[in-house]
Amino acid sequence: MLVDHAFIVAGAEITKAARNWLANVLNASKRSQIMFMDRDDILNLYVVTSLPLPAGALQKPSMSAWWASDEAPF
């Protein structure tokens, strides 16, 4: 049986190289549609539909960065 549509969903970024590799691995002549959804696409769905983001969806700024602390970087 041939798959009409395929969804590839990732919790991180799907790079252009990864998208191209996956498209080449999947036989292009037998697939009709491949949809890629990465982290940014998923977060954008929440924004567009006005849903509140789940706890922990946004990365907190690192407090270990030298410009965010009172200590000198050396």
User: What would the pLDDT profile of 1-41 be if each residue is shown by its tens digit?
Assistant: 666 778 889 989 999 999 888 888 876 666 668 889 998 89
Q: pLDDT by residue (tens digit) across 38-69?
A: 988 988 888 899 888 777 777 666 555 555 55
Q: What's the pLDDT at 15?
A: 93
55 with 46: CB under 8 angstroms? Answer: no
Q: How many CA atoms lie within 13 A of 6 on its CB side?
A: 14
Q: What's the pLDDT at 67?
A: 57
pTM: 0.57
**CA-CA distance, 41 to 12, in Å (whole number)?**
10
